[in-house]
Every structure is written in structure tokens, then in C-alpha cells.
Structure 1
Amino acid sequence: MMTIFSGWIGEAPKSQHEEIETRLKSAFASFPKKELLSWSSSNVIMTQSQDVTAPPVLNGEGVSIRNNGVILLSSARLDNVNELKSGLILANHDKSTTDHARLIGSAYGKWQKKCIENITGDFSFALWDESKRELFCARDRLGVRPFYYHKNKYGLWFSNNLRVLISSIGFLPEVNKKRAILWLQGIERETSLTFFEGIFRLQAGHTLVATPDKGPCIEEYWHLNNDMPEIEGTLEQNSLRFRELFMDSIRTRMDCPGNVGIELSGGHDSSAICSSAALLDRGRLRSYSALFPSNPECDESFYINKVNEESGILNQSINAEALSVVDYYDKSILAHGDCHHAANIRIVMRIQELAKHDGCNVILNGVDGDNVASHGLYRLTELAVAGKWNSFIDQAKSISDIYGAFYKNPDEGIFTTFGKAILQEKSNKKVSIEVICAVFLLAYRMRINARHLVKQNMVKPWMRKLGVNKGAKPGNVIVKDRLGRYSADQLDESFINETGYKEYLQDYLSSRQRYISENQAQHSFLTSGVNEQYFEYTHSISELNNIETRFPFMDQRLIEFCLALPADNKLDNGWTRLILRAAMKDIYPASIGKRREKSNLAPSVEGIIVGQCFADLKEAVQRPDEEIWQFFSAKGVDSMIKNYNPHDDNIYASQADLWSIWCLRRWLSLRETFNSSVGSSTNRTLLIG
């Protein structure tokens, strides 16, 4: 099932090899019911776990030992199996193989390191070529499968499991405070960084090459192209192609023994997966949903029931409010290792537990479908850039009900998000009659205070440009005493000064570009790094239940197709996610396709923040020796709690700020356990063929 591998390559003396191998093997001790496979030669040791209770191997996750001296450790699920088979010269017994690891090995045998250009799917692998004395590692294009590495005086250590890597190197690294700075701001773009100083993740679409005395050399082999020609054709024609790609993505991800679970929330993405999968193999499917009984705003049961009724899939529901936030968060940290602030992790973990109990070996998850099949809202920006203000207003008005759930004045919310940057850009160049007319036209048509718009979007930017605003620089992102999400008095002064917090954050945020097109915004969201973080901790917690999570929207062909669609295939006349609605017509329930809004799930988190989070942070304030005060000011956090106002317009931002502090504190309290090992593994040595 879920395979974990690790290894070492270096020039340490032979007298130390036994100790290194012992470290690598003992790092797997906390994973019960695993058989440990290992191989060693001079200057390289490779280890991989294998579940001794699993059904027949899932797509061939495993160790591949070949007569030509190639050792392959992998965790892989490939999309282009048939294409690979047709391009390879396979022995008769290999032609019908479903072993994806063996296909990767065969591809390397034919194309060497260029094999990575011919492999698509979810994978990470480490391959040792004895004839070249070279290690070749790779991570899939979208970063679905993880890979980590660390270099020290003994050599290069690597693994697809962060906890295993930390245990292998034999010491607990310091906290990476640069990573903490970005994480506290909700920024995930520096995807090579972990919370552990000196431990890095191999980024999506990258390879790593090393020899015993050199490396690692990291190179990008693929990135999501943002310059693809726009797809022609009508919405109807393009929706048929979307359907074809989407169904094929689901089909390949359902390829496994046993049952298949689906995380069903009632939204467009999970409903599309559930209804489409039912057309392929209804009998093996089970769906799982989270309910929030005391929060009617979060209630999706009507849509969940519609999908289950029409698809005929067996469903189990869980009461999300009854799940312990602390217990499940701690389990996720102990499984994954890195800090995260996913409040819904308890739901994902509980669904995995139920699915495994029901005989599911794979569970389908609709993560990031709303960026693949985009909402298309930045079409508004395209219209503003083109000066098509009437069209901008007409489209904005037609989607204002969506924003009504998040803004007291949804029209102003839409303008702030999509029109403000354009007016600022124009007014920074020249305060023209055109800009003034545009402001007043917007204000009149959208019923917004015109004086407020002029002041915020014309006068203030122009004053900054002239240096009138007390020396403020154009584009300054550090406003007064606020350092991004937090104010200076909420953070620890030493943390600010020692890390260069202000300058580091200023440089990073100043480099951000405004989105002036739907394509540009969609590409940015898809490559933001948020997905990679989600995949990694989901992968780690899946290992706890010996189940594999797969993501149908994370299909390279589907993503590239959607990115190249014209903006009016994504948003038109108030209908967002237009391509998905058109493709799923007559597949998922009509009530799903007619949904304009989405339930606001934020209230379901409020009980967590006000309850568990506040209680724990109030307790921490009384303990000045806690590690969290290396990052935050106890007085500042205490003030945040006391000033918390559930009726504040920025209530959700305040909740997120406090939740991040709670998560960091919890992670700091657990990280000291990361070097301990519990349990035992069966060791077996494999010799090279």
C-alpha cells in the first residue's frame, strides 16, 4: 500500500556504515506491520518498508532490483501506463504488468534520466545506478507524492517521509524561522523549505542527482506553462473535452483492489467526482460526508443527499463537531512532522478511518477543483484592464449574491478585489478624466461611496507617488506597525530583529504581481505551493490507516486544458465555474449545477477558536518559558484574545491569526518527540541481482 523509503549516499568511512544502516532501519520502527527491505553497497544504503498485511500490491509500489545494477525505491501511481508500455521494449512477462515501479525502472533503462519526460502521474522515487555510481531522484509534476532530503558531513540523506528522515539523521534540527515567517503569513510559495533547518523538500517537477562525493544537484524538468494558446471552440464543445479528461482521470485513480471511498462535501468538486465515478463502477464506491448540526450556515446535507440518491452510492456521515481537534491535530503532526494549520484535518482523518474499515484501499478527494475548473472571477479584471466598465459592472452585479456571504456590501467587495488594482495602476501613471469618470461610474452603478473610492484609489496612491505620505514608498506593504498579518506588538521583538522579519517580508511581498487576467490568476493559484503542503500531510496521515488518497482534479492534462480555456468559459452572466457546470450537466444532480453560492464553513471553525484555542493560549500566556514566546509576545497574544469580537467585520481574519498561533504552539510542543521510536520492524537484506 503506502510505501515509505529512505536512503543515504556519501563518503563516510566503512566503520560508520553499520551505524548509518542501523539508523535508517530503526527510523521505520514507529510504523507497525511493516517488513523492511534493504540494500547496501559501498557509499550507498537504500531501505524501503512494505506492508505485510496489505492486499496485492497497489500498482506496484515497491523495490525493484534489476540485473543491470539499478536499485529503485518508489511510491508511484502512473497515468500513462499504456503509452509507456508501447514505448518500451518489455519482456513477455512485463507486457501485462500493473507494477508502476517496474515501468519506471524500464523507462530508465531505455531513456536514462530523460525517462522523467515520459512519465506522468503521482510519484516520487530514488534510483541508484551502480554502473554510473549515481543517485537519481524525482518528484511528480504536481507534487502529489513527497520527497525530502538533508545534507551533512556524513553525506546525503533522503526519504519520502519527513519523520523517517528526521529519525535517520540522528538529531532534531533547529526550527527554520524563515519558513515560520512565511507560514505565519499564509505564504507557501517557498516550497523547498520545511520547518526544520537544513531539511528540504524536493519541489514538484524537479529532479535530484548526487554521487558519493558530489551533490545534490537540483534541476527543474517541468513547470506549468502559462503561455499556452487559448483553446478555440464553443462552451459545449469544450465541456465535452473536459468531461472526457475528467472521466479518464477518475478511471485511472479508481484502479486498485477493494472498495473506493469518496470524500463528499456536497460542493461542485466532490459531487462531480462522486456522480462521475458512479457511472464507472457504482458497486465498489462508498461516500463519506461531514455534518455540522449546530451550524445551519454550514449545512450541505441537502446536496449530499441528492448526490447519494441519484448515484446510488452507500454513504456514511460523521458529526464533525464531535471530533476532538487536539487529538486529531496531534496525530497529524506525529504522522507528518511539519507544522500545518488545516482545521479540517480531523474530518479527513476520521473519513479515512471509516473508509479503511469499509474495505477501501483508495479514497478520492476533490481538493483544488475550484482552481482547476476555475471560478473565472478574474475575468472581471480583464474587462477592467480593457476599460470595458459597463461589462465589468454587469458581470459584477450578476455575481454579487456570491459575495453577499462574505461582505456587508458585496458590490464593494467585488470592486476591492477586482477593480481597485486597475484604478490604482492607472492613477499612479496619470490622474486622467478617464479614471475619474470610471470611479464615479462604478460608484453610481454599484452604489458605493464615490468620495471613499476617489480617496482610496486615486488621492492616496498619487500622494504616495509624490512622497507626501510621511516618506512612505510606493507599493509599501508594511503598513505602520503591522508586519503582514500581525502587528509589531503581537510578535516577539527578538524574533523580528534577529530574523530580519520586516525586511524579509517586505522584499517577498513587494515582489508579488497584480493579476490582470483570469489566466494569470488561475496559474498563480495552481502553483502557489498550497497544494503541495496539503498533499504531503494528507499522504502522511493516509499511511496511518494504510489507505491511499488520490486527487482526480490533479491531472496534468486536465489542468493544462482548463488553463488554456477562454475566460468566458469560466465565468459569464453570473455563472462561475461554467466549464464544470456544462460538463457535468446530466451527470450530477441539477440542484448542484444550479448552485450560485457555497456554504460558508467558517462558522464551524469559530467554536474551535473560541473554545479549545482560546483556553490553550490563555494557559500559555501564564507560562513565560514556552517556546511559542520565541515568536510571539505573550502580552500581544493576550491582548488579541481579550479584544476578540465575534461581531467584527474582520472576524474570520482574527480567527485565522489566533488559529495559526495555536497550531505553531502545538507543533513546538510535539517536535521534541520526533526522534523517539516505538514498535518494531522485521528486517530482511536484499542483495543486488
Structure 2
Amino acid sequence: MCGIAGILSSKGQSKESLRHHGGKMLRQIAHRGPDGYGEWLSDESQVYLGHRRLAIIDPEGGKQPLSNEDGTVWVTFNGCIYNYMELSQTLRSKGHKFKTYSDTEVIVHAYEEFGEDCIKYFIGMFAFAIWDEKKKKLFCARDRMGIKPFYYIHNDSQFAFASEIKALLAADLIRKEPDYQSIQQYIYFQTTLEEKTLFKNIIKLPPGHNLVYDYASGKLTVSEYWDLRFDVDFSKSEEYFIDKLRFLLEDAVKIRLRSDVSLGAHLSGGLDSSTVVSLASMINVSGSTLNTFTGAFQEGEKFDETQYAKLVAQSVGANYQEIFPTDQDFVEYLPKIIHYMDEPAAGPGIFPQFMVSKLASQHVKVVLGGQGGDEIFAGYTRYLIGYLEECLKGSIEGTENTAEYAATLSSIIPNLPMLKQYTPMLKYFWQDGLFDSQEKRYFRLMNRSGDMKGLFNPDFKIDHDGVFASYESIFNRSNAQSFLNKMLYFDLKVHLPALLHVEDRVSMAWGLESRVPLLDHRIVELMASIPPTIKFKNGEPKYLFRQVIKNIIPSEVMNRKDKMGFPVPLHLWYQKSLKGFVKDILLDQTAKDRGFYDVNQLEKAIDNEKAFGRTIWGALCLELWFKTFMDN
């Protein structure tokens, strides 16, 4: 895992100037690569490539930027190509000469051999930029899931890119301005959609996309090289899919154990992380004991599931370590978290994730995690809520058995008791628009704005129709036929990248590489091909996944019904120890002068935040973002 940056200038900029601005970019992302610093400038063009290195594979030989034999192809790369050993053998057989044992050099020679199609051969997480000296073009790509970040700016005379937005700001190539359309998206989804960021004119390369910048013409071309298709295979049995998924899970974990440095794993006590830890312990051939890292809060059993994490660690003989973040940790680290994040995304779980990463970084340089299991295996309760309404509608209209994608009410009755604790969500979900279109129903389930819209000054106009149109274009984009697959597709394109944004930043803040085996694209593609009636059988979340892992993890974890999702006791802290901290941020003179919030409504919201509500969280993160990046 590393940090990358680069500048291409056509305005006669001196090499000293390029190096100066590039150096400023790299200093802003030094935390991503504490093990090394590298720069390269083209002799013939105004091209600068920079790299901060966290040395994981071939620590001695894998320094970057790295080139081919004659120095005509250069790469700066962030991530890991897990099948680099196999690709290296293939490329050597085709005559390519290697000078290192790193996965980085595989990218260079794969580009020489396959051109821009090289990305189709990579199993991994990556964001890279390749400068082709002969063709005078820059080729960049981001991995299929969006595990690794890539941001850029482009104007008439310059193109610049970096792993983090703060690096682009440090280069002094653009004026920092908030993008209020993106802020509206954040209010609804606590993230921005597709290529948008909270910064005007700073663009995010979407997952599964590549980018070509032609140096001579200044032309920029962005293309999608991968998208998830739901080509459902009804010819295979449930047993076939179970065997196939089991093989891919084991292989995905196996190749992610490749490391030349110490390795551990996050462990929450849920199905996903427990599966990764159990498989890693079974497959691990190094002979070393796996280190696991768990976080919880001391505010009661609703915020503590360490008993399950301890059980899993004990069952596989792993070392178990835990951390209990406090309200004072929240005060100390939240401003730093916003700095590392560049822009806020997702919910309060980012805070304990940050603290668990801090713990892990004190013991290992690489961690495995269970990120993505809910989005890939259909684990969220909201899928069952949406599914339930489809069943009711089909039963009333008499259409429940008319198509192979339909759901039946009778099939999901055994799983309805799990919705008991979600009664407030059901009341909200069904208070209006019952049996509306699928896109409108899921929009209600994903809408995080809630009471937050009432906090803003009346002069700040929220364009609901514009936000919905952007959402709808994603929800209905795929070839999915079933409501379940449409929900999964939207989450893959919007919700999951936000969680991966968090995963990248909280690990990189501590110089830690995070690997997410459940998001191996082979697993994602397999799950998309499985009929909804098999992978979400009878409305049971993660049904097929459960059949695969039932003999891998302890039965106590397998059968638990109380998975929490790392809840944070913020509503308790707001009313006591954090009230002053929150008011100092949201109600200071700078915030008032901004004129963004209705101060009276904000004060009421601070005093009345509901349990696990996101109103104050969303406002707090947004205001800290303004203070960190716009005021300073």
C-alpha cells in the first residue's frame, strides 16, 4: 500500500518547479508510505511521477517509480496485485526480463505485453499511473471495486493526480471551493456519487474505470473497463454454487496471505471477519500465529461483541487483542480523521475503525478484513424489508408466481422475526408511498437526510429532484431484473465505495495495508450469477454464504441474531461528555458566519439526538470538513 502523485504540464514548467510542486504533494501523503520516497521526471516532457512507499512485497527491490528495461515505460502504483507470481511466470515465458520480485514490475511488463487490456489480468486492489514515453500518454486505472483511491484535476495546460485530495490541494494547481451539489448528495447518502467529490473541479476516478491522458493534445478520455452484470445462471444447482463459492473464498484468502512482512486480521465477531480469520488460520503456511484485532465500547452490552471475537480467535488458535475507545479519544481523533479522510463518508463506525487500525499498526503491517460481505452476500436487513414489500405487493396483485424473479410471501415468513428490532425503520419506510416503484422505495431506505435537512438555513436550497435523478441513474443502470439485484448493484456502486474510502483512510493513516478478500472480483461476479432465490433463499440474509461457512466458524457465531455493525454510543456522549465539544464546533462564530445552518434548529437537534441517529454526526463531519479544508 502506498501513496502516488503526478503532474503533467504543457506550459513550459521547469523541472525544478515540477519537482517542487510534486514534493509538496508527496509530503501531504507521507503517512501512506513511511518506508520510502521516490520521484521520476521525464527527460523529454514535463512529466513528474512521485511515490510514497509502504514496503510489503520485495521490500528491497520494489522501489518506485519503476520502469521497464529501457526506461520507456514508468509506473507509480498503490495497492497489491495478488496473482503477481502467476503473471510473472507468464510474462517471463514471453521473454520479459525482471529485475525485482515485486508485484509492481508485473504491471509494467503486463502493460508492455497486453497494452491497456493489462488490467483484465489483475486480481487485486490497485490505483496506478503508467507513463508511456514512446506514445507520450499517461494510462491510469482503478480497481474494479474501488478499494484504492485515485483523484485528479484537469485544465487546459495541466493534469495532476494523487491518492488523496489533500495532495492535489498542496500542489497549488487549483483554488479550493466547495461543490454544493455534491454536499447535497452527502446530506442524502453521507457520500458523493460516482466521480463527484465535495471539492469543485477535483474529480474521482470511479471504480472499474481507466483514464488516458494524451500529452500532445491535452485530451483526457475516461472509460469503464468493468461493470457488474447479473447474467443469472438458472442451470446450476445450489450445491454447485456452494462448491464454487467455497473454492473462491479459500483462494481469495490464500493469495492475500502473500506478504514479506507481518500480517494480521480485523475480527468483529460477525460472519464476515470470522470467516476470513478462520480461513486464514487454516490456510496459513508460514507457521506463525495469526494476530487479530477487535474493538468495542464499555457503555454496555449493546456496544460490545468481544465475546464472539474472543471465541473465534480461541477456536483457531489466534492471538487476540482488543481496544476500547473512549469519548475523549473521539474528541482527540475526530478532527484528525476528517483530515485523513479528505471528505466525510459513511457513518460513525469510522471512529472505532480508526482506533482498531491504530492498535493493529503497533503489531503488523498488513491486515485482512471482512469488508464487503453484506453488499456481496445480501446481508443487510434493508434487503429483507424491501423484499417483504415486494412479497406483499405480489400477493395482493396475484403476480407472485408469474416470473422466475418473483418472491412469495409464504417463503419469507420464517425470517420475519429478525425484523422485530427494526420496527421504527418499518414505520418510516411504510408511512407513505407503499408499493411505489422499486427505485423510490429503495431511495427511502438509503436516504440518510432524515431530520438533517431541517438544520439548514432556508437560503440553502436542497434539490431533491436532482439528487434523486442522480441516484436513479445508478439504480436502474444494470441489467438486473430482480429488486434484490438492483439493490445490490446500487450498494456496490455507492455504499460500498464509501465504506472502502473509510477502510483505505483509517488504515493508511497508520501506515497499515488493509486487504479485503471477500471483494475478490471473481467472488463478486459469481454471486451476481446466482439466482436470487438461491443466494437470498426465503429472504434469509447471506443464505448461500451461510451454507458455505457453517462448518468453518463456531456455531455460537453462526447462529447469533444480534450482529451490531460496530455501533458507537454517540447519543449517550452527546448528552454528557461531548455536548461542549459538539457545540464548540457547530455553534462557534465561524460556523455561524458561514450561514449554512439554522442555529436554533441545530441547538435543538444537539439536545435531542435519538439513539444511533446520524443527524448530528452528519452535521459535525460536514462542519469539521469546512473548518479543515475551506477555512484553513
The TM-score bracket by the shorter chain reads 0.7 to 0.9
Aligned to 1:456: none
- In structure 1, how many angstroms separate the alpha carbons of the residues matched to 2:630 and 2:433? 45
Following superposition, the deviation at residue 670 of structure 1 comes to: 1.5
Aligned to 2:59: 57
1:47 to 40, 46, 49: 49
| Structure with more contact order per residue of length (Cα contacts < 8 Å, sep ≥ 6) | 1
Change in Cα spacing, 1:33 to 1:320, as seen in structure 2 (3 Å) is same
For residues 558-581 of structure 1, give each alpha carbon's deviation from its aligned partner in whole angstroms, at most 9, with x where no partner exists: 011112222233334574311121
Letter aligned with residue 306 of structure 1: L
Determine if contact 1:492/1:630 at 8 Å carries over to the other structure: yes
Letter aligned with residue 226 of structure 2: W
Determine if contact 1:382/1:518 at 8 Å carries over to the other structure: no
Aligned to 1:671: 629
Aligned to 1:525: 491
Determine if contact 1:613/1:658 at 8 Å carries over to the other structure: no
Aligned to 1:195: 198
1:594 to 533, 553, 559: 559
Change in Cα spacing, 1:313 to 1:422, as seen in structure 2 (3 Å) is same
Letter aligned with residue 218 of structure 2: K
Following superposition, the deviation at residue 425 of structure 1 comes to: 5.7
Aligned to 2:251: 248
Change in Cα spacing, 1:106 to 1:413, as seen in structure 2 (3 Å) is same
Determine if contact 1:621/1:635 at 8 Å carries over to the other structure: no
Letter aligned with residue 331 of structure 2: V
1:403 aligns with 2:419: yes
- In structure 2, how many angstroms separate the alpha carbons of the residues matched to 1:111 and 1:104? 10
- In structure 2, how many angstroms separate the alpha carbons of the residues matched to 1:476 and 1:304? 35
Aligned to 2:151: 148
2:220 to 216, 223, 226: 216
Change in Cα spacing, 1:137 to 1:645, as seen in structure 2 (3 Å) is closer
Aligned to 2:588: 623
Structure 2 counterparts to residues 115-194 of structure 1, below 5 A: 115-170=118-173, 172-186=175-189, 188=191, 190-194=193-197
Determine if contact 1:627/1:665 at 8 Å carries over to the other structure: no
Aligned to 2:619: 661
Letter aligned with residue 403 of structure 1: L
- In structure 2, how many angstroms separate the alpha carbons of the residues matched to 1:559 and 1:185? 26
Change in Cα spacing, 1:127 to 1:293, as seen in structure 2 (3 Å) is same
1:335 aligns with 2:340: yes
- In structure 2, how many angstroms separate the alpha carbons of the residues matched to 1:114 and 1:629? 48
1:552 to 509, 517, 525: 517
For residues 127-175 of structure 1, give each alpha carbon's deviation from its aligned partner in whole angstroms, at most 9, with x where no partner exists: 1111111111111111111111112354111112322221113555111
> TM-score scaled by structure 2?
0.86
Following superposition, the deviation at residue 636 of structure 1 comes to: 2.2
Following superposition, the deviation at residue 415 of structure 1 comes to: 8.8
Letter aligned with residue 18 of structure 1: E
Show structure 1 runs of 4+ deviating over 6 A: 52-55, 474-479
Change in Cα spacing, 1:611 to 1:504, as seen in structure 2 (3 Å) is farther
- In structure 2, how many angstroms separate the alpha carbons of the residues matched to 1:144 and 1:574? 29
1:394 aligns with 2:397: no
Determine if contact 1:380/1:395 at 8 Å carries over to the other structure: no
Aligned to 1:349: 354
SS in 1 for 2:524: helix
1:18 aligns with 2:22: no
Change in Cα spacing, 1:256 to 1:82, as seen in structure 2 (3 Å) is closer
- In structure 2, how many angstroms separate the alpha carbons of the residues matched to 1:414 and 1:340? 23
Following superposition, the deviation at residue 406 of structure 1 comes to: 2.1
SS in 2 for 1:27: helix
Determine if contact 2:456/2:597 at 8 Å carries over to the other structure: yes
SS in 1 for 2:326: helix
Change in Cα spacing, 1:245 to 1:8, as seen in structure 2 (3 Å) is same
For structure 1, the 5+ residue unaligned runs are 427-473, 675-689
Aligned to 1:438: none
Change in Cα spacing, 1:521 to 1:52, as seen in structure 2 (3 Å) is closer
Structure 2 counterparts to residues 82-97 of structure 1, below 5 A: 84-85=87-88, 87-90=90-93, 94=97
Letter aligned with residue 142 of structure 2: R
Determine if contact 1:58/1:256 at 8 Å carries over to the other structure: no
1:504 to 463, 466, 485: 466
Aligned to 1:364: 368
Change in Cα spacing, 1:487 to 1:236, as seen in structure 2 (3 Å) is closer
Aligned to 1:463: none
Following superposition, the deviation at residue 65 of structure 1 comes to: 1.7
Letter aligned with residue 281 of structure 2: A
Determine if contact 1:570/1:579 at 8 Å carries over to the other structure: yes
Aligned to 1:467: none
- In structure 2, how many angstroms separate the alpha carbons of the residues matched to 1:131 and 1:600? 50
For residues 200-226 of structure 1, give each alpha carbon's deviation from its aligned partner in whole angstroms, at most 9, with x where no partner exists: 111111111112332221111111113
- In structure 1, how many angstroms separate the alpha carbons of the residues matched to 2:332 and 2:169? 22
- In structure 2, how many angstroms separate the alpha carbons of the residues matched to 1:95 and 1:621? 55
- In structure 1, how many angstroms separate the alpha carbons of the residues matched to 2:191 and 2:233? 28
SS in 1 for 2:6: strand
SS in 2 for 1:670: helix
- Of residues 100-109 and 111-120 in structure 1, the stretch that sits farther from structure 2 once superposed is 111-120
- In structure 2, how many angstroms separate the alpha carbons of the residues matched to 1:59 and 1:241? 37
- In structure 2, how many angstroms separate the alpha carbons of the residues matched to 1:114 and 1:478? 36
For structure 2, the 5+ residue unaligned runs are none
SS in 1 for 2:614: helix
Letter aligned with residue 119 of structure 2: I
SS in 2 for 1:494: coil
Following superposition, the deviation at residue 94 of structure 1 comes to: 4.9
- In structure 2, how many angstroms separate the alpha carbons of the residues matched to 1:305 and 1:82? 35
- Among the aligned pairs, what percent are the same residue? 20
> TM-score scaled by structure 1?
0.79
Following superposition, the deviation at residue 113 of structure 1 comes to: 1.8
Change in Cα spacing, 1:202 to 1:487, as seen in structure 2 (3 Å) is closer
Following superposition, the deviation at residue 199 of structure 1 comes to: 0.7
1:114 to 114, 117, 128: 117
Change in Cα spacing, 1:619 to 1:333, as seen in structure 2 (3 Å) is closer
Aligned to 1:677: none
For residues 535-569 of structure 1, give each alpha carbon's deviation from its aligned partner in whole angstroms, at most 9, with x where no partner exists: 23432343332220111111100011112222233
For residues 486-521 of structure 1, give each alpha carbon's deviation from its aligned partner in whole angstroms, at most 9, with x where no partner exists: 47652123322xxx6355335446667699532222
1:607 aligns with 2:569: no
Aligned residues: 606
For residues 419-438 of structure 1, give each alpha carbon's deviation from its aligned partner in whole angstroms, at most 9, with x where no partner exists: x9774469xxxxxxxxxxxx
- In structure 1, how many angstroms separate the alpha carbons of the residues matched to 2:420 and 2:388? 17
Is the radius of gyration larger for structure 1 or structure 2? 1
Aligned to 1:296: 301
Change in Cα spacing, 1:323 to 1:155, as seen in structure 2 (3 Å) is same
Change in Cα spacing, 1:3 to 1:641, as seen in structure 2 (3 Å) is closer
- In structure 2, how many angstroms separate the alpha carbons of the residues matched to 1:511 and 1:145? 24
Change in Cα spacing, 1:33 to 1:301, as seen in structure 2 (3 Å) is closer
- Of residues 341-350 and 309-318 in structure 1, the stretch that sits farther from structure 2 once superposed is 341-350
